[in-house]
Amino acid sequence: MQYWLMKSEPEAFGIDDLAGRPEQTEPWDGVRNYQARNMMRDEMKVGDPVFFYHSNCDLPGIVGIAEVARASYPDFTAFDPDDKHFDPKSNPDKPTWFMVDVKFVRKLQRTIGLQELKQQPELADLALVRRGNRLSIMPVSRQQWDFILGLE
DNA sequence: GCCAACGTTGGC
DNA sequence: GCCAACGTTGGC
């Protein structure tokens, strides 16, 4: 089993939005970065636990837990000219972009802020706290996962 | 295949 | 709103 962290801007789609969806599940569409795509397409399996991270907001940090509810399938928004994430070069017969479905598990009792995460020597290798990192999906080790939950 | 220009991310 | 970091694009 692999653990993950996925970023989302709460103004666009936050943890409460996920909790309010039918079956508390939502396709993670719109990822247009190859590294992130590869992780969704090749490595994310049903049941994998996910930290839900709020970015670009007053208090950036981990706000909840989700899990992968459906493994990789083509991101249909890439084929919709009206969609914000339309990719004119993407071909439905040979899709470029993939997504997974993510299901709400629970909110954390408090937000574990980016600042706090950065202060932990145990998390020095976490991609999230490395300089200049812009990955929206990243792996989290079992040790990192347990440590972060211990901060809650 | 290089690299400058440009667009995006995301913390602050 | 600013801007550093980084990915992508496209001319050559």
Tell me: the pLDDT tens digits for A120-145? 999 999 999 998 888 999 999 999 99
Counted domains in chain A: 1
Chain C bases closer than 7 angstroms to a protein Cβ:
5-8
The tens digit of pLDDT for each residue in A31-62 reads 999 999 999 999 999 999 999 999 999 999 99
The answer, yes or no, to whether residue A109 has pLDDT greater than 90, is yes
Establish if A152 belongs to a structural domain: no
Note down the domain range covering A49: 3-141
Confidence of residue A13 (pLDDT cuts 50, 70, 90): very high
Global model pTM greater than 0.85: yes
The Cα A88–Cα A69 span in angstroms is 28
Q: Closest nucleotide to A131's CA, by C1' atom? A: C5
CATH number for the domain including A102?
3.10.590.10
**CB-count exposure of residue A115 (10 Å: 0-12, 13-18, 19+):** exposed
A33 CB closer than 7 A to any strand C atom = yes
Establish if A68 belongs to a structural domain: yes
Distance in Å from C6's C1' to A2's CA comes to 26
Establish if A75 belongs to a structural domain: yes
The DSSP result for A9-77, as a single string, is -HHHH-HHHHHHSGGGEEE------HHHHHHHHHT--TT-EEEEEE-SSSS-EEEEEEEEEEEEEE-GG
Give pLDDT, residue A89: 83
A129 CB closer than 7 A to any strand B atom = no
A150 CB closer than 7 A to any strand C atom = no
The Cα A68–Cα A58 span in angstroms is 27
Establish if A124 belongs to a structural domain: yes
Distance in Å from C8's C1' to A97's CA comes to 16
Give pLDDT, residue A16: 97
Give pLDDT, residue A26: 97
A88 CB closer than 7 A to any strand C atom = no
Establish if A31 belongs to a structural domain: yes
A38 CB closer than 7 A to any strand C atom = no
- Of A130, A116, A111, A127, the residue nearest A36 (C-alpha): A127
- Of A93, A88, A94, A75, the residue nearest A137 (C-alpha): A75
The tens digit of pLDDT for each residue in A57-95 reads 999 999 999 999 999 999 999 998 888 888 888 888 889
A84 CB closer than 7 A to any strand C atom = no
Tell me the average pLDDT of chain A. Answer: 95
Give pLDDT, residue A91: 84
The answer, yes or no, to whether residue A97 has pLDDT greater than 90, is yes
A132 CB closer than 7 A to any strand C atom = yes
Give pLDDT, residue A50: 98
